[in-house]
Copies of this chain bind each other. A is one copy, B any other.
Amino acid sequence: MIKQLMNQIEKTKAPICVGLDPMLSYIPEHVVKKSFEEFGETLEGAADAIWQFNKEIIDCTYDLIPSVKPQIAMYEQFGIEGLKVYKKTVDYCQEKGLLVIGDAKRGDIGSTSAAYAAGHIGKVTVGSRTYSGFDTDFLTVNPYLGTDGVKPFVDACNANDKGLFVLVKTSNPSSGEFQDKLIDGKPLYELVAEKVVEWGSECMDGEYSNVGAVVGATYPEMSRILRKLMPHTYFLVPGYGAQGGTAEDLKYCFNEDGFGAVVNSSRGIIAAYKKDAYAKFGPEHFGEASRQAVIDMVTDINRVL
């Protein structure tokens, strides 16, 4: 699976994913109004607005990008109706040829992780048949429970040619509270990184492993160290743009082969029309604003590679 992502990155020259993390406040009024007119101010109405918003952004950007990263929480907050639109978004992106990184940060004890893996990147057996519940190409995973909580996800990758990104060093302000704490002189995130390499060694797909790592753009010194520790691990890099990470901060996430990282931007792309730089598009053309923001992001990143 990681080879497929690399191929699509090579084709588009865009080592990025667009974070489809819609908040209702990001969606232009005319879109929300239309959905509310049809479905009322209901969970269904909110979900429809999100779907219309996503669809327009996908239609305006899919030919420029290799992948998207829907954040499931933004759908889950609207309950079942929201999750239906998560699934619809996943399917639509895949129809458009995009790889989908489900950002779910799941993780539990072994048998429970196996259920999550089946639902998101695997198959569940029902009588004599099998089904895939959400069926994304990649999934983000939380490592706090250790190997037996991660292993079922790795197994699902091997069985179905899928990929993972395991949280190593996250982009948020308080990520250091536990992740940076020193254990025998090494921060916890390095210890997690070593485990990710170990888990990933069973899952190689060419030069890189299908088991990747989440490494925030907001801590460039740490990503430099992690890049060396994990030469065959792909990084999913959140934190560029709205969270404060710059292109210069990102360069250490890449290897000398130009591969090794896929950089996410959510708000910076999907709510671009709200920024001064793209205000000229206006809310009516929010999709075009997102397209221009993608072009600018790719230029910005390629400048430092």
Residues of A within 8 A of B (CB): 21, 23-24, 32, 36, 41-43, 45-46, 71, 73-74, 76-80, 82-84, 87, 105-113, 115-116, 118-120, 124-129, 131-134, 142-149, 167, 170-179, 181-184, 188, 191-192, 195, 238
A84 touches B76 (CB 8 A): no
Residues of B within 8 A of A179 (CB): 144, 146
A76 touches B119 (CB 8 A): yes
Residues of B within 8 A of A113 (CB): 73
* Partner among B79, B110, B142 whose Cβ is within 8 Å of the Cβ of A119: B79
Min CB distance A99 to B, Å, is 20
Q: Given A42-B126, A77-B118, list of 14 further CB < 8 A pairs? A: A21-B112, A41-B126, A41-B129, A42-B131, A76-B115, A77-B116, A79-B131, A79-B134, A82-B133, A144-B167, A146-B172, A146-B178, A181-B191, A182-B184
Q: How many copies does the complex hold?
A: 2
Distance A129 CA – B78 CA, assembled complex (angstroms): 12
A73 with B133: in contact, given A42-B126, A177-B146, A195-B177 (CB under 8 Å)? Answer: no
B133 touches A79 (CB 8 A): yes
* Partner among B83, B105, B115, B149 whose Cβ is within 8 Å of the Cβ of A108: B105
B143 touches A144 (CB 8 A): yes
Distance A71 CA – B112 CA, assembled complex (angstroms): 8
A127 with B36: in contact, given A79-B119, A112-B21, A181-B188 (CB under 8 Å)? Answer: yes
Residues of B within 8 A of A79 (CB): 87, 119, 131-134
B119 touches A78 (CB 8 A): yes
Residues of B within 8 A of A182 (CB): 183-184
Residues of B within 8 A of A184 (CB): 182
Distance A120 CA – B77 CA, assembled complex (angstroms): 7
Distance A129 CA – B39 CA, assembled complex (angstroms): 13
* A174: nearest chain-B partner, CB-CB: B146
B172 touches A133 (CB 8 A): no
Residues of B within 8 A of A238 (CB): 109
Residues of B within 8 A of A32 (CB): 127
B147 touches A174 (CB 8 A): yes
> Which residue, A105, A134, A191, has most C-beta atoms of chain B within 10 A?
A105
Min CB distance A132 to B, Å, is 8
Distance A280 CA – B35 CA, assembled complex (angstroms): 56
Distance A46 CA – B124 CA, assembled complex (angstroms): 10
Residues of B within 8 A of A83 (CB): 80, 83
Residue pairs across A and B with Cβ atoms less than 8 A apart, 17 shown, are: A23-B115, A32-B127, A36-B127, A41-B127, A42-B129, A43-B126, A45-B127, A71-B108, A77-B115, A78-B126, A80-B83, A105-B106, A143-B144, A144-B178, A146-B176, A146-B177, A146-B178
